[in-house]
Structure 1
Amino acid sequence: MYEIIGVQFQEAGKKEYFSPNGIRFKENDLVVVESKRGMELGRVKLTNRHVGKDDVVLPLKEVLRLATDDDIEKYQSNLNDAEEALNLCKEMVAAHELNMRLVNCEYTLDKSKVIFNFTADDRIDFRNLVKSLAYELKTRIELRQIGVRDEAKLLGGIGPCGRSLCCSTFLGDFEPVSIKMAKDQNLSLNPSKISGACGRLMCCLKYENDYYEEVRNELPDVGTAVVTPEGDGKVVGLNILDVTMQIKVKGFEQLFDYKLDELLEVHS
């Protein structure tokens, strides 16, 4: 068994796991760790617990320390310096005539490295840009190309529902979303209706998908012949939320709504 804590570096970001190094932490404690990006300040989102070997990626890095006032002050100072570095990088991108969109900039806590996240339609040769940035900023430079969903997560915004984007508020990981999910939920396939701020299919299409799949497996398909208390009929529509079917019965103009247990017979 291994003792771990889960640390988050960005709001709604993915949790990373570290050895607590014998320290008992509380939720929302600020800690300093050596992550894959470098020395960072993060927030404890999963307190001390033991997990099996198969549940962690070894070797586990240890928490360096509980964040001090100096660490927090340095972190805040780095945020201001990162904004200046981002503006500088934007000027250099324009000067080098690179077709890339800068999203944000982050310094590691010890300022040994500065990370620029960007989006681009194609691969970018930014070697000269890196040289120029390293000369001006006097530190290691990392340029990371990210996708449009990651961009929306970092920048935040308001979704079509009028609420803050799910990805920037509580979604830790992106789950695959397909157009089939929209079809199964009888949603309009107009891209403007089912696309989020990132231009991709909305993450919320996934939320009710399991329920729709479960109910669809219980109900007969549209076109199935059935026997109702009113006579023979055919399924012409499904109401997944009510778990009912619309049935056209021979000899009647109107449609009837039935639950599955109200039918006398369902023909396969």
Structure 2
Amino acid sequence: MPETQPGPLPPDQPHSSESGGEEAALHFYKIRFRARSQECTASAHADDLVRGDQVMVRTEQGPEPATIVSRCPTLVGETIERPVLFRIQRRASNEEREKYAALPILEQEAFRICRRQIDSLRLPMHLVRVERFFNGSKIIFYFTAESRVDFRELVKALVQEFRTRVEMRQIGVRHETQMTGGLGACGRELCCATFLSRFDSVSIKMAKAQDLPLNPAKISGVCNRLLCCLTYEYETYRVMKKGMPRAGRSVLLEGKTYHVTRQLPLMGRVAVVGGDGEERLLTEEEWRAAEPVARPPGRKGPGRKGAGPGRRSGDDSSEENDPTGED
């Protein structure tokens, strides 16, 4: 099954249950079309499918084989949150299972042939993956390149070799990592290779808001782009920091002026230092009761427009975007 998600399929007609005329309940499963492909959600009327079962799934390209990964626990009357684009039709037959087992071998052979043709034509491209439709009607070759590539001669050679439709699809480094898979710094399988269906924009601002080290080696993933997981808790940090005095501001509490050095949203506190060097953690009640100290006229604080050259901006002022968009 190609990585491109097919469009929504029309819903099945209601089925009658054995106990009466009520519509048969749907059961939801996690499936994979390839050993290293993403997990997808599929629905079925069968309730006895288990991990490892091979089934035939209805897609836009026709029936495609897939493997059951797990069953999605759903309560009675509960609707599944994510859209279900696939419908399991039945278990795969012995002949279909044999053909499914041979599919990776055919794809590996197509990969070798294509790479040999690329080397022969001296094309500036890197082949990443080959996917073949189960019915053999089409083969998709995924590749990366620094710029556009004229692959017309390559397509002619591949069509002559395989006698079927051939599609060359250029992808970016994030999709390359999604296809090849791997382990992240957290020790778990990469999010993009397991459940992420799209790549959201990630920015340095998100790392700053979460007080993460701005070391590229620590906040970049296997693809050398900013970690996708920076987006997971960003909105939570924004909400928790709302109303807290920003770093660099001064506040007046109990007759003393303190300089805010850091926000600690998970603790609900603010780190400050007094004029005499006294360090203190203000509780939420204290920093809400503190009064902001007005800056001297003409002085611009950090993160404001008009800050002098070389001055570092505040947490919420930067919109530096990581070039995570696809090529």
Residue in 1 that maps onto 2:59? 35
- Work out whether 1:127 is the aligned partner of 2:155: no
Cα root mean square deviation, aligned: 3.3
Residue in 1 that maps onto 2:246? 221
CA distance in 2, matches of 1:261, 1:48: 42
Partner secondary structure for residue 192 of structure 2: helix
- Work out whether 1:65 is the aligned partner of 2:90: yes
Residue in 1 that maps onto 2:281? 257
Alignment check: 8 A CA contact 2:244 2:287 kept: no
CA distance in 2, matches of 1:179, 1:264: 28
- Unpaired segments of 5 or more residues in structure 1? none
1:123 partner amino acid = R
Partner secondary structure for residue 73 of structure 1: helix
2:180 to 155, 163, 169: 155
- Unpaired segments of 5 or more residues in structure 2? 1-10, 13-25, 293-327
Name whichever of 89-98 and 8-17 sits farther off.
8-17
Shift of 1:64: 4.4
Partner secondary structure for residue 103 of structure 1: strand
CA distance in 1, matches of 2:107, 2:231: 35
- Work out whether 1:76 is the aligned partner of 2:101: yes
User: How many percent of aligned residue pairs carry the same amino acid?
Assistant: 35
Aligned length: 262
More helix by share: 1
2:216 to 185, 191, 208: 191
Distance verdict in 2 for CA 1:96–1:38, change over 3 Å: farther
Name whichever of 236-245 and 27-36 sits farther off.
27-36
The alignment's TM-score, normalised by the length of structure 2, stands at: 0.68
Shift of 1:79: 0.6
CA distance in 1, matches of 2:285, 2:224: 42
Shift of 1:93: 0.8
**What's the CA shift string for 1:168-206, capped at 9, x where partnerless?**
244343333222101212333333332211121111212
**What's the CA shift string for 1:118-144, capped at 9, x where partnerless?**
111222222221111121122222222
Alignment check: 8 A CA contact 2:42 2:87 kept: no
Name whichever of 134-143 and 218-227 sits farther off.
218-227
Alignment check: 8 A CA contact 1:4 1:51 kept: no
Residue in 2 that maps onto 1:146? 171
More strand by share: 1
Partner secondary structure for residue 102 of structure 2: helix
Residue in 1 that maps onto 2:303? none
Distance verdict in 2 for CA 1:97–1:140, change over 3 Å: same
The alignment's TM-score, normalised by the length of structure 1, stands at: 0.81
Distance verdict in 2 for CA 1:227–1:62, change over 3 Å: closer
- Work out whether 1:100 is the aligned partner of 2:128: no
2:291 partner amino acid = H
CA distance in 2, matches of 1:108, 1:51: 34
